[in-house]
Amino acid sequence: MTPPEQSTSDPYTRTANELLTLLGGAENIITMTHCVTRLRITLADHQAVDGTALRDHPAVLGRLDDGETLHLLVGPAAVEPLTLACVTLLTGCKDRWGDERR
């Protein structure tokens, strides 16, 4: 299953669609939260991630995978709108504080 098709006129929605695909699709995301500069993602299968394409994606400034959580450094200006776009794509619900999908 891949993220539902939604309008990609918004750059954050377009980027979220791209990142979710590189992360192995919606079914591979267990939780997604954020801090000041990073998306924090718990994955069902770390092997499903396209690490090379993710590393080369222009929105990803850095990446750390500690084996449990994948951290994507996206910067302080992008982190909240990008998290919201991802969560909206994953859940279909636009909720400012709906940072997790279970």
Catalytic residue, candidates 8, 27, 35, 95: 35
pLDDT in tens, 56-86: 999 999 999 998 899 999 999 999 999 999 9
Sign of CA pseudo-dihedral 67, 73, 79, 85? negative
CB atoms within 10 A of CB 47: 8
In the DSSP assignment, the letter for residue 58 is T
- The CATH number assigned to the domain with range 11-91 reads 3.30.1360.60
Does the pTM surpass 0.85? The reply is: no
Q: Assess whether 35 carries a catalytic annotation.
A: yes
CB atoms within 10 A of CB 28: 18
Given a cut of 90, is residue 29 above it in pLDDT? yes
User: What is the structure's pLDDT at 9?
Assistant: 77
Query: Could you give the 3-state DSSP secondary structure of residue 57?
Result: coil
* Separation between Cα atoms, residue 90 and residue 99, nearest integer Å: 11
Given a cut of 80, is residue 1 above it in pLDDT? no
